[in-house]
Amino acid sequence: MSDERDIQAHDLVHEQSLIGINHVGRDFVGPDGVAVTALSDINLEIRPGELVSVIGPSGCGKTTLLRLISGLDAPQRGSVTFKGHPIEGPNPERGYVFQQGSLFPWLTVEENVAFGLKAQGVYSGRKGEVAEYLGKVGLTGFEQSYPHQISGGMAQRVAIARALIDRPKVLLLDEPMGALDSFTRADLQDTLLDLWELYHMTMILVTHDVDEAIYLGNRVVIMTPRPGRIKEIVPIDLAHRDRVSDDFAAYRKLLLTKLHFETQKTAENHSGEEQ
């Protein structure tokens, strides 16, 4: 079966950007009081319905980039826009799934998913959706369980359902599978693809895993080590998302080569600074 995601991604080329990131920079003050540049001159446009993977070494600003898109943080230079308007703070239209899920331990699975609806005062009219979204992520029957009673993979599914129930236009995924075993990780990757195809939303995934970036992404954004810049954007054009295919292996080799080059270059620069 051909991959619908690639067909849909090709149809997006002429659509207006949903997210615009223009010459964005962000600095932070380190423990020693010295400013550190996390992001430098980032330029990226993301169209409606894309699934974009962002990959790069630790500390290259991937999470900072997601936080700017979500509105949890603000750029010091440049601009970040959503539907043509500057992002001025968090909004339910941009859902965020953190690496550890961030569930409330004193609430049941059902109560965690319903939390946003209650906060917005719309729970009474939409409470039936809680069971619907839990079903979409494969958690029917676990509604009354508490976070400590379920696995890490299940907790991430709860976090995804909690984000989805707000009906976001964009789902921001900050290494949601980073702490999972390989089997659970692969299963959750397929769940994300199913949800992407079902809801036709935009997804932006931060990951350290090259295979994951290829398997999920229509495009892979490669970032350089600090200061974080976009080195290259690689379109992923696969007829099938088969991890053992020759085409998949070619993309893996391409990305690993580019990432290794950047890591090696950074190490050489640091070595030169120390001499």
Q: Which tokens go with 47? A: 């169209």
Regions of the chain where pLDDT drops below 50: 1-2, 4-14, 267-268, 270-275
pLDDT score recorded for residue 59: 86
pLDDT score recorded for residue 10: 43
pLDDT score recorded for residue 138: 92
- Nearby residues of 101 by Cβ (< 8 Å), 6 or more positions away: 147, 152, 155, 156, 158, 159, 176
Please state the pTM of the whole predicted model.
0.86
Q: Find out whether 172 and 226 touch, Cβ atoms under 8 Å.
A: no
pLDDT score recorded for residue 11: 46
Question: Distance (Å, rounded) from C-alpha 249 to C-alpha 214?
Answer: 10
pLDDT score recorded for residue 159: 94
pLDDT score recorded for residue 177: 87
Helix, strand, coil content of the chain in percent (nearest 5)? 40, 25, 35
CA 101 vs CA 32, 80, 96, 130, 133: distances in Å: 31, 25, 10, 17, 16
Give me the CATH topology for the region 50-74+87-266. Answer: Rossmann fold (3.40.50)
The torsion defined by the Cα of 82, 85, 87 and 92, in degrees rounded to 10, comes to: -60
* 19-29/219-223 β-pairing: unpaired
Query: What residue spans define the domains of the chain?
Result: 50-74+87-266
